[in-house]
Structure 1
């Protein structure tokens, strides 16, 4: 019953599209009518019960409508539409079945609204745009549906945009990708602000041992959709293909940046060394050499010193019995009991 309800809701939103603000707004952003049709973008009217009444008229019960996540109960028990006055982006499963929606508002404070969890839709297991993947594609994971669409529309070297549905990237998302294609490389194109970079760095353990993971380095005030709108598809394609870095770079940079305010002091540099060493010790082997070189360059240590710090972290983890389980990003490590008490602990002071 939930799939037919979502299919009917998609048709309803599409029927409301042309008379709304959505076509003009998206066209101004560079997403023309052809793109809007291809992605089945619709519009949820601003009325309280427009969709609910439409679905009732088609014979769906209130219980079924509420269970679909397309309507909710007010404090008075009245059933009202969950999405109102929003551009509607259908979320589809790998086979193209519509299972939920993302609604985009013009209100910057409540820009995106995702369908609540239902028996056929779980945010932590779903990616917007999954149905567009092909066997030879390179998935580019973004934060919002317009970002994902912008990536796909660039046509750059088989890149296909995907978007998170209001949640952090999870191991379930990675499993969905590996079931959908032979995953050899993934690119993260999160917003260029600090939260976006931090989220990308935290994602590293999810891809370790599975595929090559790269990140697009955007400036703090930019995202893929904004670049698509302001600079054009060709500019976005260039950034996605020529301005990527190994995701491991962001992990090490984040570990060192925790000590940024004390790097001018010897103690701060030592603390940053141990923090970065712990991060590198948990990395895939193919990432280690590059990161040792980067840490040495950033902190002014020779390669032997950095290598020793990394090796020491590996030894500590072996002694503690927790290796080779991946180290959670941002965690600290202390030496196991029995080590020389005069040796410096890898748990540095908070900068």
Structure 2
């Protein structure tokens, strides 16, 4: 892609998200989401092939429908209250439409069907943007309208997302689809923190999720793997990278003593403090589904040795791998910040 075109696309993408996150007016928030939508479409289409065009079309139709619902909700709220402020969402129908639009934007159940298909149609770098940066603007809107939404509907969507995210990834062999279902499950965990009114845990969960997703996608880009079969033959080529992927996968599954355990631990603790035992128990049980397919990935990558001749171990000496300077600090953060959890709670 032309460097000037790339710079223009990323400038529009970043500006749209920032405009939505820092706006207090529904029209500017909607405008930022539209800028975000139109900037990501060329990235999904690149490289140009029928599969990427199909994914871009699915993404466009879903996100455009969500934007239409969001604008309809904002107009209904304006007719009812006479204000365009994000913090004055008093109409119940407008609140329901707005919540539906945000769930579609985030790819949460029952509007999750576009996430695996679009991610599978995109490159690894574009998939990284879809699962990290593209979540910031809808999450900021959801956080601001949290006092006005129906918590029962949001809780049902969150629990369904955790279940679908674990169940859908069980039989997958395509790594991008596995990461898509992982994102659906993480969005379910993240929205439960909005229900319990704890912004510190929400930000911590979002930060750790973005770090873990960036680390996993960078490891996949360095290893140039897109399927489970490709990962199964990677230990001989890059054992250190595969060991990093093993620990990062365990962290993403929420296994102690890695960093991914911190948000799950804090979320369950906060819900129990609110005198609710059934919901965190169900969430913990459904999280085992995610941990299962993370363990399957870890078993294929680092816990088995593919039967090959010794000459293949020299493959990495003659293969030019992609070098990402941010990979090392990301691996450290995604695995070793659990002891810092008490310090993070000081700001609660």
With normalisation by structure 1, the TM-score equals 0.28
Larger relative strand fraction: 1
Task: Kindly indicate whether structure 1 or structure 2 has the higher relative contact order, using CA contacts under 8 Å at least 6 residues apart.
Answer: 2
TM-score normalised according to structure 2 size: 0.28
Greater radius of gyration (CA):
1
